[in-house]
Each structure stands twice: as structure tokens, then as C-alpha cells.
């Protein structure tokens, strides 16, 4: 397992998916603000704000779907490798967390598509189970199987593996603008 196991570099995952998440949250917040201000007006129309919120949630679901695709590519590449027990646990914990977040995202999309008077949004048990409990589980799994502890106990690669990894990394051009 190493840089060649993933379709993207760690830096690209951070850049792409954190940007998408922040953007989706901003879109949802704008929609929430529009819907909230319209609801306090006489004959206010909350539909534009609600539609904006739905757009943010759908964008978030789409970006999570792309992430899940890359995660499956990663899993496919590492499945033939012999992983230490702690790395298997970490991969399983990550799989569990991703499934919880994905199911929650589907729930949130359907919930808002139904509107403010929809069945899901007017029955609290769905919110508690499909939003709150799923997020607690998605995060809680890493309290039980802490990545910091699991990664610290991972055996270091042998020298031959380190050399192979270095030889497969893209090289920077000396004196080019890519150095910064």
C-alpha cells in the first residue's frame, strides 16, 4: 500500500473533496438563509431557498459519489496485497464510515426533495436514526479504532519497497515553476 494504490495523491484528495464539501455547505447555507427569510414574510415563497439547499445537498452527494468511486478503486488495488492486521482494521473502519456518510447523504437529499412538509422531515425518528445516529457511527468508529494508533503500529516498508516507491514518484523539474 502506498502512493500507487490510489488514483489521486493525498494532496489532491484534500484539495478536491474539501473544496467540494465547503462549497456544498455554502450553497446549503445560502439556501437556508433564503428559505428562512422568506418564511418570515407574509406570503413568502420558500421554494427558491429550498431549491438552493437541495442543489447544495445534491452537489454534496455527487462529490461523495466520486469519492466513493476512488475509494473502491483504492480497495481494488490493495485487496491483493497482504496488509498488516491494523491496516485491515483501518480499511474496514473507513469502509463503515463511508457507508454511513453515504446513506445519510441519500437520506438528506430525499428529505429535502420532499419539501418542508414532507414525510421524512415531519417525523423525527428518521432524523434521529438516518442523520444523527449515522453520523455518530461514522465518527465513533474512529474513536474505537483510532487511525493515529493504528498507523503508528504499522510496520515500516522494507528498504527495497521504499526504493521502489521513490522510483515510481513523479520527479520535479529543477529550476522550474513547479518547485514552489
User: How confident is the model over 155-166, as pLDDT tens digits?
Assistant: 665 554 555 555
d(CA 130, CA 104): 6
Give the alpha-carbon dihedral of 66, 69, 75, 80, to 10 degrees: -140
pLDDT above 70 coverage of the chain, percent: 83
Indicate the pLDDT class of residue 44, thresholds 50, 70 and 90: confident
d(CA 163, CA 156): 13
d(CA 93, CA 153): 16
For residue 5, the 8-state DSSP code is G
pLDDT at 171 over 60: no
Query: 0.85 cut: is pTM over it?
Result: no
pLDDT at 176 over 50: no
According to the model, what pLDDT value does residue 174 have?
A: 47
- In 3D space, the residue among 151, 5, 158, 136 whose CA is nearest the CA of residue 88 turns out to be 151
Amino acid at each position: 500500500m502506498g502512493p500507487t494504490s490510489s488514483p489521486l495523491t493525498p494532496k489532491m484528495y484534500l484539495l478536491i473533496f474539501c473544496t467540494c464539501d465547503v462549497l456544498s455547505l455554502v450553497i446549503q447555507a445560502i439556501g437556508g438563509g433564503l428559505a428562512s427569510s422568506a418564511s418570515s414574510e407574509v406570503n413568502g415563497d420558500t421554494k427558491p431557498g429550498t431549491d438552493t439547499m437541495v442543489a447544495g445537498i445534491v452537489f454534496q452527494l455527487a462529490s461523495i459519489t466520486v469519492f466513493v468511486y476512488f475509494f473502491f478503486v483504492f480497495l481494488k488495488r490493495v485487496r491483493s496485497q497482504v496488509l498488516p492486521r491494523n491496516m485491515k482494521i483501518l480499511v474496514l473502519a473507513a469502509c463503515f464510515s463511508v457507508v454511513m456518510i453515504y446513506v445519510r447523504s441519500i437520506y438528506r437529499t430525499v428529505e429535502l426533495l420532499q419539501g418542508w412538509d414532507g414525510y421524512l422531515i415531519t417525523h423525527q425518528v428518521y432524523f434521529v436514526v438516518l442523520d444523527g445516529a449515522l453520523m455518530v457511527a461514522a465518527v465513533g468508529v474512529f474513536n474505537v479504532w483510532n487511525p493515529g494508533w493504528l498507523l503508528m503500529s504499522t510496520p515500516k516498508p522494507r528498504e527495497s519497497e521504499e526504493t521502489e516507491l521513490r522510483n515510481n514518484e513523479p520527479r520535479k523539474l529543477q529550476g522550474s515553476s513547479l518547485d514552489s
